[in-house]
Structure 1
Amino acid sequence: MKDKEAFMFALYEKIMNLVDVGIHAVDEEGRTIIYNQKMREIEAMEIREVLHKKLTDVFQFHGSEESTLLQALQSGKDSHRVKQTYFNNKGREITSVNHTYPFLYNGKVKGAVEIAQDITKIDRLIRRNHEPNTGYTFGHIIGKSKAILEVIEFSKRAARTSSYVLIIGETGTGKELFAQSIHNESERSRGPFITQNCAALPDNLIESILFGTKKGAFTGAVDRAGLFEQADGGTLLLDEINALNIHLQAKLLRVLQEKKVKRIGGTKEKPVEVRVIATMNETPYEAITNRHLRKDLYYRLGVVTLFIPPLRDRVEDLPLLTDHFIQKYNNLFQMNVKGVKPEVLTFFRSYRWPGNIRELEHMIEAAMNVMFEEEWIDFHHLPTQYRHQNGTPDANFTQPLLKDRLLEFEKHCIIEALEANGSNISKAAEQLGLSRQSLQYRMKRLGIKPF
């Protein structure tokens, strides 16, 4: 008999620790009697810290809010899909959706059991998206080059309207800085500014975050407003829109066209007045050709299209940007670096900057981390990948041949003309001052396909 009881207990313990939901049970005094592996993971607690201890001695709850387990124990009633935020004994915040049941034995409540699903990360992400982070204005954009001044002027004009905006630029060029500046210059500046990186989350999660959920839509779903509802009256920045699933792009297009949003699992549509600003790190031609972006969504979003120039196309801004970042890290590190040596600035002007302004900042920060009392950044201060053993720039980082730059520029001009003329080759050729045959030849040579 004892062997059978031992076997059954071991089997019960194995099952409890295999299930992918948290299970927590208390006795009639509120002391923990069951605490499975998943629950320990959710609450970041060891079993010895919780087992046989009172809930109120281990966990802290907001204000007058009480544990759903203790509520079931006291009321004798079930509760389902209840969202609860609380803290473990180390002060770590936990958010879960709970199904809680009182345990009746001989007609009396002798305990309670809870099945919990962890939504801590999702909840934090949504709250972080809703926090104001609109500190940038056009005055924060550093540069005096013609390339950057033209984009700033065009962006200021766009800020006067409520049209959708598509910002295109390589990684690290400052696309979000422009988006925030447009919002702060517009009539929506007093409304919310909410951002969401479309590449940061899986499809099923990004859909619920964008459009919201209706209680009961799926296991653990609660009534929650999506980002469109949260951004009502303000601006929603969708970063890396070309990373969004094509199916979700269709749903997004419908919201943009109808200005109404329906929560997942819901039946009613709610009107929303939101200005959407989207960003991409590839050209519309590349995104559409590679099936990263629906053509109809591009036409809807690209009412105003801004192309942020890469750093290699605004090298005259390098001294200003370099001085700005040196001053920033002087203040942060309590240093007194005056600048970079002339040969370093020459290297900066010849380097291609694939990571753009963000890469420049990281390079300055890394260089200043290895400096002691020096006043000028020299080659030997730069990270290893940017310098050669003899103290000169690595050949891999020097300027490409002129013919390569010319081909790159030619390709850019042709793609720009095709986009401006809806991929009509005749009109694009006319705009470029070429014959249709000549343009087709150049497109074939450069590997450009019409979309």
Structure 2
Amino acid sequence: MEKDFFKTHDTLREIFDHLSDAVYFIDDRGVMLFMNQAAEKLDGYSLEEAEGHTVSELYGLDTDQSPLLTVAAGRKPLHDHTFRYYVNNREVYQICNTFPIELPDGTWGAFSIQKDVTKLKATIEKNIELQKQLFGYQEDIPEKSGKEGKLYTFNDIIGEHPVLKECKNLAYNAAQSDSPIFLCGLTGTGKELFAQSIHSASNRKDATFLAINCAAIPETLLEGLLFGTVKGVYTGATERKGLFEQASGGTLFLDEINSMPLSSQAKLLRVLEEKYVTPLGSNEKIKIDTRIISSCNVFPREAIQKQQIREDLFYRLAVINILIPSLLERKSDIFLLAHHFISLYNVRYKKKILAMEDEVTTFFLDYPWPGNVRQLKYCIECAMNLVNDDEMTIKEKHLPFYLKEESTNTHPTNTFSLDQNFYPLDDDIEKINIPKSKFLKQEPEENSLLGTIRQKEKETIVQTLTKNQGNVSKSARELGLSRQTLVYRMKKFGLK
């Protein structure tokens, strides 16, 4: 291939220049034939400066170090290969796919498509270091802890609503076995709080509890983090135990399992079935005894249909499954939670807040809480920061400004209602281990607090139905409920 081949093929060069990844072509002598604009920007060389020079001259790499030279010499491709090099006084980390190519003159060369992960690597290392400092990690164990370095227990789960009580009872019973547990709940409902509480109530409570958010770890690093690595499996890799091995004898919590790549899910399924892990770069099989708790913030049926979760993996993980209710489903707990958070922040911020004004209470009952308990907590924290030292109540003016803005808009259904079919392929509600009658049963006998809540709910439904001239579907959308749920509430209040 002549060195000006790409200059005479403007369309081809333009295509490569539009790619965000760096692209390189070399001949059989290792001479640079072409590099796209992304490569120029990354390395600090222009194409004109690099043309005619070898990879060794430009980057100081030999055949064993350069994927381009390795593939050009051996004519075998390299897939997802990680390597590093130094250029213009800076270190660069790349993940590349490199292939042999026959050039127009009959000789062989190589081309490579490379993704720069230098900043990503630095960010991950920084986050790991911050996590070690924040949670007091020992060695390389990212152990999640609750209050004062201790794991949460069921006593830390606040609420008296029957739905939440049933959920806690089920979780406590599940803690007594070693079967995998699948937690399903919206963002902010307390899935990790439940996971820690289950571990604390189990016979593994004195062993390690580890947690990993599957959505926060890049695919290229996830398997090494889970299964471990050996030194030299890729450039810069050290011998490190995976989370499965670190948590052996204890519990591993896989948060947002629906964000894990399907290829990694297949390997996870094998680990669960065979009870051993093989570190990356090793042939050694390490026996493990790790209790798995996983979570998902969307319905499993939806996740499977969208190919976010393998169906066979779901059934393996969901031996015991627990549906965590949203705050919208247990609004009577808002007062307990709010006063708990007020007490918490009174100590932290040296305040003397005694209560919330009636306008705040009414607003909290009307608001749909899309962020659930976590959002309520941050809402109270915001208000406590805005209250003056001489004030003793939280007023509406102290609430975050976005709450008022959001409350004027229609919110989607903020509930994992059982009528939405929790199971992916079967509508038999008994399989969820919570009878539907218990999930939808009446409130306890009314007292002044619950009576106020029920009356306010009834008035809101009547007003919405009147506004929409009795159109149930339209009213349900405005209320953020499913049609079936609204019909149930209408029957409960004797509305026709």
The separation in 1 between residues aligned to 2:378 and 2:346, in whole angstroms, is 14
The separation in 2 between residues aligned to 1:163 and 1:182, in whole angstroms, is 12
- Residue 259 of structure 1 aligns with which residue? 275
The separation in 2 between residues aligned to 1:238 and 1:208, in whole angstroms, is 15
Identify the match of residue 413 of structure 1 among 413, 416, 419: 419
Unaligned runs of at least 5 residues, structure 1? 1-6, 25-34, 42-115, 434-444, 447-451
1:302-451 paired onto structure 2 within 5 Å: 302-372=318-388, 373-387=390-404, 394-396=407-409, 412-416=418-422, 419=424, 422=426
Extract structure 1 runs of 4+ deviating beyond 6 A: 14-17, 116-119
- Residue 118 of structure 2 aligns with which residue? none
Paired residues of 2:184 and 2:295 also in contact (CA < 8 A): yes
* One-letter amino acid of the counterpart of residue 182, structure 2: L
The separation in 2 between residues aligned to 1:123 and 1:333, in whole angstroms, is 29
* One-letter amino acid of the counterpart of residue 378, structure 1: K
Compute the displacement of 1:130 (Å): 3.2
Compute the displacement of 1:387 (Å): 2.8
Paired residues of 1:380 and 1:387 also in contact (CA < 8 A): no
Compute the displacement of 1:117 (Å): 9.6
Compute the displacement of 1:132 (Å): 5.6
Unaligned runs of at least 5 residues, structure 2? 1-48, 61-65, 67-82, 94-120, 438-481, 484-496
Post-superposition CA distance 1:262-285 (Å, at most 9, x none): 111111211100001001101111
The separation in 1 between residues aligned to 2:144 and 2:382, in whole angstroms, is 30
* One-letter amino acid of the counterpart of residue 383, structure 1: P
Q: 1:377 to 1:132 in 2, by over 3 A?
A: closer
- Residue 160 of structure 1 aligns with which residue? 176
Identify the match of residue 288 of structure 2 among 266, 269, 272: 272
SS at 1:314's partner residue? Answer: helix
Post-superposition CA distance 1:43-102 (Å, at most 9, x none): xxxxxxxxxxxxxxxxxxxxxxxxxxxxxxxxxxxxxxxxxxxxxxxxxxxxxxxxxxxx
The separation in 2 between residues aligned to 1:347 and 1:118, in whole angstroms, is 40
The separation in 1 between residues aligned to 2:124 and 2:189, in whole angstroms, is 34
Paired residues of 2:199 and 2:209 also in contact (CA < 8 A): yes
- Residue 28 of structure 1 aligns with which residue? none
Paired residues of 2:418 and 2:436 also in contact (CA < 8 A): no
- Residue 289 of structure 1 aligns with which residue? 305
1:116-155 paired onto structure 2 within 5 Å: 120-121=125-126, 124=129, 129-131=141-143, 133=145, 134-155=150-171
SS at 2:421's partner residue? Answer: helix
Q: 1:361 to 1:261 in 2, by over 3 A?
A: same
Paired residues of 2:59 and 2:85 also in contact (CA < 8 A): no
Q: 1:320 to 1:117 in 2, by over 3 A?
A: closer
Identify the match of residue 240 of structure 2 among 211, 224, 244: 224
Paired residues of 1:132 and 1:192 also in contact (CA < 8 A): no
| Aligned-residue identity in percent | 40
Compute the displacement of 1:432 (Å): 9.4
The separation in 2 between residues aligned to 1:432 and 1:141, in whole angstroms, is 22
SS at 2:314's partner residue? Answer: helix
Paired residues of 2:214 and 2:255 also in contact (CA < 8 A): yes
Compute the displacement of 1:220 (Å): 2.0
- Residue 170 of structure 1 aligns with which residue? 186
* One-letter amino acid of the counterpart of residue 89, structure 2: N
* One-letter amino acid of the counterpart of residue 246, structure 1: L
Compute the displacement of 1:143 (Å): 0.3
The separation in 1 between residues aligned to 2:409 and 2:124, in whole angstroms, is 46
